Amino acid sequence: MPAGIALFLFFRIRNKVDGVMKKEHPKYSGGINNSIDVFRIFQIVNSSDTLSKTEKKILIRALIYTSISWLTGIVWIIYLVFFYFSYK
């Protein structure tokens, strides 16, 4: 459930994220679940001096939404491995 909400919120700002990232990093492919693109966004947020405050906030929100969805996926995998399969 949290991953679905986070992805829905991310898709609402996806065009803004793509616009900022295409300007700052030409190799950005637009796939937020691609770990290389997440690293590129993190790198731009930490090192870019040309970003405005609103652009930086958009990228930080995208990183937060992505981390929520990844964390939810990891929790589900742990649940399946330790709890679901142990009862069968």
Q: Name residue 37's amino acid.
A: D
d(CA 19, CA 71): 26
Number of structural domains in the chain: 1
pLDDT of 1-51, one tens digit each?
Answer: 677 888 788 888 888 988 898 888 888 887 666 778 888 888 899 988 889
pTM here is 0.79
Say how many Å lie between the first and final Cα of the chain, rounded: 25
Query: Of 16, 25, 27, whose CA–CA distance to 50 is shortest?
Result: 25
pLDDT at 60: 93
- For 22, the 3-state DSSP assignment is helix
Are 65 and 6 contacting, i.e. CB atoms less than 8 angstroms apart? Answer: yes
Q: Domain containing 37: what range?
A: 2-84
